[in-house]
Amino acid sequence: MNFYYRIQAIFYKELMQLKRDRMTFGMVVMIPLIQLLLFGFAINTNVRYIPVGLVDQSQTALSRILVQTVSATQVVSFKSQYATVPEAEQAIARQEVRAVLIIPEDVSQRLVRHGTVGLATPPATDEETSRPIAQWLTDGSDTMVASSIKSLRNMPLAELLSKPANRSIPTFEVTLLYNPEQRTVVNIVPGLVAVILTMTMIMFTSAAIVREREHGNLELLINTPLKSIELMLGKIIPYIFIGLIQVSLILCLGYFIFHVPLNGSLAALAAITLLFIAASLVLGLVISTIAKSQLQSMQMTVFVLLPSILLSGFMFPYEGMPKVAQSIAEALPATHFMRLIRGVVLRDVDISSMSFDLIWLAVFTVLGLMVAAFRFKKRLD
């Protein structure tokens, strides 16, 4: 019974302090809001309208139609024309444009012999006929820009001559499930839940014990019959509610602004989210028992936050990362939650089929709580 009252005492105190800390309270709402808008609008891996230049050495009607056809793909947008190739190269160096399309003098001849157009079926060994019709000079340093330009390599040219295409049959047919329109934001919004919870949950609790120490309250607390585990539980419970508020906020805004649907059940969502909130809060508590000052606790929060953003699969696919990065990712709660929440929100997955991630988070929480309670000594030395 006293156990319950003491947890309640800490819980209530934290709530009062939180209520009076306008700044923190504002952050509860502002962090998800701002981040969602920033990430939602800014991150887009389908790059469009890349500024490019043109060096037209043929100056024919055909070259002008070619430029129009390329523009119509919306991948690039022609910004300026250059007389010579060196001039164009300098423009790339100045970042005026990211790439330049060079149309050679003999573009018409190249086109009529071109395989995709179907006026001739020349043997593949014939050097003369297998030449591409024009060249892209691209700034390859940004791989995302470069691969978008590369995607133009096999652009169909049939319309160019208003002739029926001798289209080769693709080797594979690709059916895009869950995100057929290929909108990046669909993958970003559920991932953002993981990132924002990691950030705010760890941040709130990582300062929890340190703050008591810095304000001199700790000496009062440890002289009372309060037990470590009671202090730890009392400190995290209020933030569970805050975490739930944030998740609801992100998913609702994601739904209304970015049209990201919630395909899974609310119960499954609540279950995985609670588990992850608990794991993050506990991680914050452990940090709090290690840090000597609020500044240190902040630094340690960032130390956890960065890999959680970069390695958890939020920005880059987990499978594409090297083994070392994958092992680091596996140690982060955010990685496990990333899989779970994308599964529930996007694919309506049955969470019992993802029991590894669920169990991992549960074990992490329990162990973390024990470590935090153990590390928090009711002593000053």
Interface residues with other proteins (CB under 8 A)?
A: 1-2, 5-6, 8-9, 12-13, 16-17, 20-21, 215-220, 222-226, 378-381
Query: Could you tell me the smallest distance in angstroms from the CB atom of residue 12 to other proteins?
Result: 8
> Shortest approach of other proteins to residue 191 CB, angstroms?
35
CB 26 → other proteins: shortest distance, Å? 16
Which is closer to other proteins, CB of 94 or CB of 215? 215
User: Please, which residue, 18 or 152, has the CB nearer to other proteins?
Assistant: 18
Give dist(CA 116, CA 330) in Å, integer. 47
What type of residue sits at position 311? L
Q: Distance between terminal CA atoms of the chain?
A: 30
Total residue count of the chain as it appears in this document = 381
Give the C-alpha distances (Å, rounded to integers) separating 108 from 104, 105, 178, 309: 9, 8, 43, 50
CB of 287 to other proteins, least distance (A): 22
Q: Which is nearer to other proteins, 9 or 309 (CB)?
A: 9
Q: Measured between alpha carbons, how far is 308 from 312 in angstroms, rounded to an integer? A: 5
Q: Of the two residues 21 and 159, which places its CB atom closer to other proteins in the complex?
A: 21
Residue 53: which H helix or E strand, with range?
Answer: strand 50-56
| Radius of gyration of the chain measured on its C-alpha atoms | 29
φ, ψ for residue 169, nearest 5 deg: -80, 130
C-beta of 222: minimal distance to other proteins in Å?
6
* Token pair of 50 as six digits: 């890349």
For the CB of residue 233, give the shortest distance to other proteins in the complex, in Å: 14
Q: How far is the CB of 224 from other proteins (least distance, A)?
A: 5
Which lies closer to other proteins via its Cβ, residue 218 or residue 249? 218
Residue closer to other proteins (CB basis): 104 or 238: 238
Residue 316 DSSP one-character state = S
Inter-residue long-range contacts of 111-114, CB under 8 Å, 24+ positions, other chains counted: 111/62, 111/157, 111/160, 111/161, 114/157
In terms of CB distance, is 77 or 217 closer to other proteins? Answer: 217
Q: DSSP assignment, residue 348?
A: -
Q: How far is the CB of 6 from other proteins (least distance, A)?
A: 6
DSSP per position, 112-174: HT-TTTTS----TT-TTTTS-S-EEEE-TTSHHHHHHHHTTTT---GGGGT----PPPPS---
What CA–CA distances, in Å, run from 155 to 39, 101, 167, 169, 269? Answer: 31, 14, 11, 14, 42
Question: In this complex, which beta carbon is closest to other proteins, that of residue 153 or of residue 379?
Answer: 379
